[in-house]
Chain A
């Protein structure tokens, strides 16, 4: 099929012609049959009347009624019930009520012998006649309405099915699905749409791949020279011996650069497209253990105590994304809390949510600044100049949004800040 328009016009017009033609044919035949029967009945009546005129014998059921008046006298009548004239003596058609029935009368005058002939027929039998004729003619058309409705329904459904197929394909697409669309029947109206969509999907896909590639290339391209800088600084400090401390600010800046580069890459890599691609069951408890192990060096350097409380819990997420979330929360807790502070990660499975919280005994964040803190690049005014790029909580928020979870900042039972992430049932396994 090449065009929806052509298909619909051809199918619907031919269906209409066929159905209406057969309905008309059927009506014509039925009407013809009824008319024949009625005319035959008339013929019978006529022959009865002639038989009476000829022989004077009356038969019982007769519907034709006549009177013959000659010079003002009733000379012949099909019935004795009426001795008065049926109607006034004037030529033509008229209708009268007599003998409990309404009659249609035709009166004829013969001036040669001064005779009046009145022939009457009950009006009701004429109604019966026209009724049955009309019904016979209309019935096939009425019968054809459901057939036409049926044909229209299936014709339009079939004609528009490629459109429906297309919309279904588009509606059921995953966020990360950039594959091209193929329709089993591709009508001419839809082919430019499908072609344009496919071109767009292909371009989007390659753009997405480029972005992914960019993130991974940038990771390599930035990390390697930063590593070199770090190692060279170490080597120079070694050579300088006692004077090595003059390099401290340079070292700190290198660390900040590394941190910022890492955070930028994390923001890219926790994008919804990447996330949708990587979703799998992940044990939050194990991820938390891993995060604590990996960050333990820095935590121990500040002589802080860290503990993990709760039980194993599985989330539909990605290892990398959950790791990034917890790593940001825990390293923030450690960074912004003083030496010797306490940090607790809690995993609580509640009735319809999973609560992941990181509490610390640090300075906390004033209630009126908590919303501001969540915006990228902003840091709480009471935080001392730490080597943060300020992206940490923005990454956390992006990850929270990915999971449709809720992030809240509260006062912790340890005296500092509690960062709480509540995952809904949709993501809990």
Chain B
């Protein structure tokens, strides 16, 4: 897995590169938007980690240039600006994920793993939480090493939740996922499917956060 790290702060760049190397990623470090675009032209990078505050150009402009040439390349944005507006404009400009500085390195690695699984070439397509494992490429589910068959929509919802384990997904976000996969969504679709899904999962596996959404806890209890 080859990660392009676009970060102008050299100490941060080298520390991050070391962490990523320790996590078995190949890292290319560049320190400006122009260098980032030049490196991307070689077509070697699988994932881009992009700092928004670059010396030569606004990170968002770099992101837009990347998106013009490559619509699917996963891009994770890092920024010291934590205003929600920045987050929204970053995601609008086509970023796949967003992390405000300072962040936990585990959090960054977890987000990279989510992006990695989206790539068809990814070696780790299996996500496991507690005793539940989902192969996101082949859409097979095992609970306690037993194969479990799920209807298409429930599998998709489970995939969305398990890929974002530890994070809350709102009803709106889940509906949007179903839309993206070309499904029809009625007003109570999510409730019905989550309720069905819950019956097939271990108890307490899918949590409801009243008024907010659903979540699968990362840690075992």
Chain A residues proximal to chain B, CB less than 8 Å: 216, 219-220, 223-228, 230-232, 234-235, 238, 258, 285, 288-290, 292-293, 296-297, 300-301, 303, 306-310, 319-320, 323, 345
Contact = CB atoms under 8 A, between A and B. Distances in A.
Nearest to B221: A303
Interface of B: 9, 11-12, 15-16, 18-19, 22, 53, 80-85, 101-105, 107, 166-168, 170, 209-213, 215, 217-219, 221
Contacts of A297: 107, 166-167
A223 B102 contact: yes
A346 to B, nearest CB: 10
B129 to A, nearest CB: 13
A289 B80 contact: no
Contacts of A225: 11-12
A308 B212 CA distance: 7
Given A223-B101, A230-B102, A293 B212 contact: yes
Contacts of B217: 300
Given A227-B12, A292-B168, A296-B167, A235 B22 contact: yes
Contacts of B213: 289, 293
A241 to B, nearest CB: 12
A228 B80 CA distance: 12
Nearest to A309: B211
Nearest to A306: B209
Q: Return the 9 tightest CB-CB contacts between A and B, nearest first.
A: A308-B211, A307-B210, A227-B102, A231-B15, A220-B80, A223-B80, A293-B168, A223-B101, A234-B105
Most chain A Cβ neighbours within 10 Å, of B168, B215, B221: B168
Given A296-B166, A296-B167, A289 B19 contact: no
B12 A231 contact: yes
A220 B22 CA distance: 26
A296 B209 contact: yes
A10 B111 CA distance: 80
Nearest to B207: A300
A323 B19 contact: no
A220 B211 contact: no
B104 A293 contact: no
A258 to B, nearest CB: 5
A253 B180 CA distance: 43
Contact of B101 (A227, A293, A308): A227
B170 A293 contact: yes
A289 B83 contact: no
Contacts of A227: 12, 101-103
Nearest to A262: B82
Contacts of A307: 209-212
A348 to B, nearest CB: 13
B15 A228 contact: yes
A289 B169 CA distance: 10
